[in-house]
């Protein structure tokens, strides 16, 4: 089986890893990927910790096209992510990408609401910068369980005109769920909504936007095996049958997903932070 010709297996050089809240921001010189990628796509990184056969998928949180550098924001949750953030500068990394389908840019300038849970904001950070640069009004809603798990946006003013942070325990920003904040903001008028985070959050966002009659794209971060369309680990039920989130997504039209048939989160699963 072959994979899309635009996808390349390449080698990058780690040029920096910086702690950012409970995450690490890894910058990788990989000009082929940085030049070809669009917001919403991801890379699969080969990790060399014992027992980690499969490449680990990470959203592209931003690129510096001129320098040929891409940025990942990594939560340390297991052997693979721990290996990645522990690597020394100049380490050569084997990676595949850019992978998957990215977000759709609206045709006309308008209002865009970005809704992210935990590290799910990584998939939205670069999108926000692109939308702002194209003249859209961008509002970022970033939620997490606690202040420590909030996504570390580097510079809010380059990603969104307004940033609202929510925490479930009230330790930072508004107390409550990021979807509560979305309901509040939708009352201010029409918007294109983009979301990334755990599946229950995405299902809630899809329901809220459907009831409000607004268009919504979600970046689905299901467990993946091969990341290139071969193994069917990542399938999501849609109105057209099962879709592979690695190649038919990760960005999908929220109204096409059969949310009622999505598997409940695995008990060992993450809360995106
Ligand atoms: C398209 C996509 C984009 C992603 N973007 C990011 C990102 O920007 N930053 C980031 O930190 N992580 C991201 N992830 C999740 C990341 O791939 C996993 O955290 C990583 O593969 C875990 O590898 P590990 O070896 O450290 O942990 P493992 O030992 O493989 O797993 C540790 C724990 O994490 C759970 N887990 C693994 N993958 C996922 C997943 N996809 N969703 C929910 N739980 C999972 C496992 O069930 C287990 O409980 C993304 C995943 C996908 C599919
Ligand atoms: S992860 Fe293998 S088909 Fe998507």
Residue nearest to atom 9 of ligand 1 (CA): 74
Is the CB of residue 83 below 6 angstroms from any atom belonging to ligand 1?
A: no
DSSP-derived secondary structure letter, 221: -
- Ligand 1 pocket: which of 56, 75, 97 to mutate (most atoms within 8 A of CB): 56
The pLDDT averaged over each successive group of 10 residues in the chain (273 residues) is 62 96 95 96 95 95 96 96 97 96 94 96 95 95 94 82 94 95 86 95 95 95 92 95 96 96 66 68
Write out pLDDT tens, residues 70-98: 999 999 999 999 999 999 999 999 999 99
**CA 2 to ligand 1 center in whole angstroms:** 25
Q: Which domains does the chain have, with CATH numbers?
A: 8-99 (2.40.30.10), 111-261 (3.40.50.80)
Q: Which two tokens stand for residue 47?
A: 């990790």
- How many alpha carbons lie under 13 Å from residue 209 in its C-beta half-sphere? 27
**CA 99 to ligand 1 center in whole angstroms:** 16
pLDDT at 267: 54
Is the CB of residue 242 below 6 angstroms from any atom belonging to ligand 2?
A: no
pLDDT at 3: 52
Residue pair 194/124 in contact (Cβ under 8 Å)? The answer is: yes
Neighbour tally for 183: CB within 10 Å: 14
**CA 57 to ligand 2 center in whole angstroms:** 11
Give the E-state strand segments of 108-262 in sequence order. Answer: 111-117, 137-144, 162-167, 174-175, 192-196, 216-219, 235-238, 241-244, 251-253
Contacts of 42 by beta carbon, 8 Å cutoff, 6+ apart: 57, 58, 59, 60, 97, 98, 99, 100, 123, 227, 250
Is the CB of residue 59 below 6 angstroms from any atom belonging to ligand 1?
A: yes
Is the CB of residue 221 below 6 angstroms from any atom belonging to ligand 1?
A: yes
pLDDT at 1: 47
**CA 12 to ligand 1 center in whole angstroms:** 20
**CA 180 to ligand 1 center in whole angstroms:** 26
Is the CB of residue 56 below 6 angstroms from any atom belonging to ligand 1?
A: yes
Q: Quote the CA–CA distance of 118 and 197 in Å, as a whole number.
A: 7
Residue pair 208/185 in contact (Cβ under 8 Å)? The answer is: no
Considering every ligand atom shown, identify the ligand nearest to the alpha carbon of residue 223 and give its number. 1
Q: Which two tokens stand for residue 267?
A: 């008990």
Q: Which atom of ligand 2 is nearest to the CA of 234?
A: 4
**CA 17 to ligand 2 center in whole angstroms:** 28
Is the CB of residue 268 below 6 angstroms from any atom belonging to ligand 1?
A: yes
């Amino acid at each position: 089986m072959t994979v899309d010709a635009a996808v390349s297996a390449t080698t990058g050089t780690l040029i920096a890893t910086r702690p950012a809240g409970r995450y690490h921001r890894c910058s990788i010189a990989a000009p082929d990927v940085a030049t070809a990628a669009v917001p919403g796509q991801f890379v699969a990184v080969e990790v060399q910790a014992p027992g980690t056969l499969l490449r680990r998928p990470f959203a592209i949180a931003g690129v510096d096209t001129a320098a040929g550098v891409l940025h990942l924001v990594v939560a340390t949750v297991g052997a693979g992510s721990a290996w990645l953030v522990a690597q020394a500068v100049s380490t050569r990394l084997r990676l595949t990408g850019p992978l998957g389908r990215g977000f759709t840019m609206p045709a006309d300038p308008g209002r865009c609401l970005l809704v992210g849970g935990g590290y799910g904001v990584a998939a939205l950070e670069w999108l926000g910068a692109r939308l702002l640069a194209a003249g859209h009004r961008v509002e970022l809603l970033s939620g997490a369980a606690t202040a420590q798990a909030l996504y570390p946006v580097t510079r809010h003013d380059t990603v969104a005109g307004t940033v609202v942070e929510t925490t479930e325990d009230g330790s930072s920003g508004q107390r409550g769920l990021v979807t509560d904040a979305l309901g509040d903001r939708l009352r201010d008028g029409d918007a294109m909504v983009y979301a990334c985070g755990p599946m229950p959050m995405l299902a809630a966002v899809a329901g809220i936007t459907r009831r409000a009659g607004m268009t919504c794209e979600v970046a689905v971060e299901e467990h993946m095996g091969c990341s290139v369309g071969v193994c069917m680990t990542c399938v999501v039920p849609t109105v057209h049958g099962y879709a592979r989130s690695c190649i038919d997504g990760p960005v999908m039209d929220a109204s096409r997903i059969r949310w009622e048939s999505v598997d409940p989160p695995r008990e060992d699963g993450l809360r995106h932070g």
